[in-house]
Every structure is written in C-alpha cells, then in structure tokens.
Chain A
Amino acid sequence: NAGVMQNPRHLVRRRGQEARLRCSPMKGHSHVYWYRQLPEEGLKFMVYLQKENIIDESGMPKERFSAEFPKEGPSILRIQQVVRGDSAAYFCASSLLAGMNEQFFGPGTRLTVL
C-alpha cells in the first residue's frame, strides 16, 4: 500500500524557468493539499484540491503559481518564472475524507532556484 508519492525529490531551476511538482495521493484518496516549508520554518498551506476541482487556494500566491488535480493522473503544482524566493520544500498531503481526517504527507520536493 504505497503512501503519498512526490517527484522529483529534488529540483534545481534557474531564475525564470518553470517548475513542475507532481503528487500522487494514497490509493483511494481524493483530497490533496499542498504546503510550502521554508528552511527552519513551519508548513504554510497553499492549496486544497479535490478531483478536478480547486476547493481552497487562499494560500497560493496570486501570480506564477497554479495547481491542478485532473481526473486521471497526479496533482501538479506549477511555478512559472521561478525566483530565488521560491526555493523551499513543497509537501503534498492527501486524505481519504474531508475534514477531521488524517493527512498523510509525501516526502516532499526540494526546489532550489539558482
């Protein structure tokens, strides 16, 4: 029973390039959450998605960031025209149900922008 999978685990991009982070939730989970963690800081909520729908994107920067969770395939967090400040660990979590439910975290993608 595979857990939450994220790839790549490490991603290096130059300023101005695009970064695509993938997340495959646990089998049977249809709720996906993306969090960002800066070094030595806590996790900050970015976006909550259910299959094909964005439920809450209140934590997403207004520009350059987008997320999707298609009917088939993994959830994608896309960062366009990356800047140095985007360097962080991006974690994806999934849950079976909405609300009052354990969120299982993936191993994270560590993005470094040169």
Chain B
Amino acid sequence: QQPVQSPQAVILREGEDAVINCSSSKALYSVHWYRQKHGEAPVFLMILLKGGEQKGHEKISASFNEKKQQSSLYLTASQLSYSGTYFCGTERGQTGANNLFFGTGTRLTVIP
C-alpha cells in the first residue's frame, strides 16, 4: 500500500526547477505532501483532495490526478531552503482509515 516516489534523489542548483512524482496502486482519496529536514519532524506542505485539483504555495505547487492515482509536486526557482526529503502520504479513504501511507521519499539537495 506504500506509494512509490520518483526520483529517489535529485540535486539542483539554486533557481532550477524540479518535479517529484508519487504514484499508488490503490485508489487515492487524498494526497499529503511533507518536507523533512535531517533530524527534524516532517513539515506539512499541502493536501490535495480527489477531483484533480491543484494547489500552490509560493513557488511550490502540486497536482493530483485521481484517475491515474498519482500526484506531482512542482518546485520552481528552487532555493537553498528547499533542501530536504519530500514525502507524499496517501489516505485510503475508507471509514476509520485516516492514517497516511508514506512514500519512500525523495531527497532534494539544492546547491549554490
């Protein structure tokens, strides 16, 4: 039930763009994106609900394709502060099943 993320790791120079993908073999109810820096707690970025919505926050946005059971996180004009490991978390959507299944993570490193 664990979603698959790609790529596993990416190195960017400041100002470059990146796309992180998250796909599931199970039907997706919602997708949550988090960023975790080494030794710290995951920090919530955004949640996308079924219906093919897109969301954006400054230079970070995401899309959710319910039919394809996948979501993508877009980081534009990356900054040094974007470095960290990005996780997608998916909900099964069944009653009482509100826990998240997290992907394996994508390690993003932004260099000057």
Q: Give A residues with C-beta under 8 Å from B.
A: 31, 33, 35, 41-45, 48, 55-56, 59, 91, 95, 98-108
Instruction: Decide yes or no: A59 and B41 within 8 Å by CB, A42-B105, A100-B49 being known contacts.
Output: no
Bound Cα distance A57, B2 (Å): 16
Closest-by-CB residue of B relative to A55 is: B96
B43 interface residue (CB < 8 Å to A): yes
Contact B41 A91 (CB under 8 A): yes
Chain A hits for B96, CB < 8 A: 48, 55-56, 98
Bound Cα distance A106, B42 (Å): 8
Interface bin, chain B: 20 to 34
Choose among A31, A56, A102 the residue that contacts B47 (Cβ–Cβ < 8 A).
A102
Contact A33 B44 (CB under 8 A): no
Contact A98 B43 (CB under 8 A): no
In the complex, number of A-B residue pairs with CB atoms less than 8 Å apart: 67
Q: Considering residues B96, B99, B105, which has the most beta carbons from chain A within 10 angstroms of its beta carbon?
A: B99
Instruction: Decide yes or no: A43 and B42 within 8 Å by CB, A31-B98, A56-B99 being known contacts.
Output: yes
Q: Give B residues with C-beta under 8 Å from A.
A: 2, 29-30, 32, 34, 40-44, 47, 49, 87, 89, 91, 93, 96-105
How far apart are B102's CB and chain A's nearest CB, in angstroms?
4
How far apart are A105's CB and chain B's nearest CB, in angstroms?
4
Choose among B41, B47, B89, B97 the residue that contacts A106 (Cβ–Cβ < 8 A).
B41
Instruction: Decide yes or no: A102 and B40 within 8 Å by CB, A42-B104, A45-B99, A59-B99 being known contacts.
Output: no
Contact B43 A56 (CB under 8 A): no
Bound Cα distance A37, B101 (Å): 12
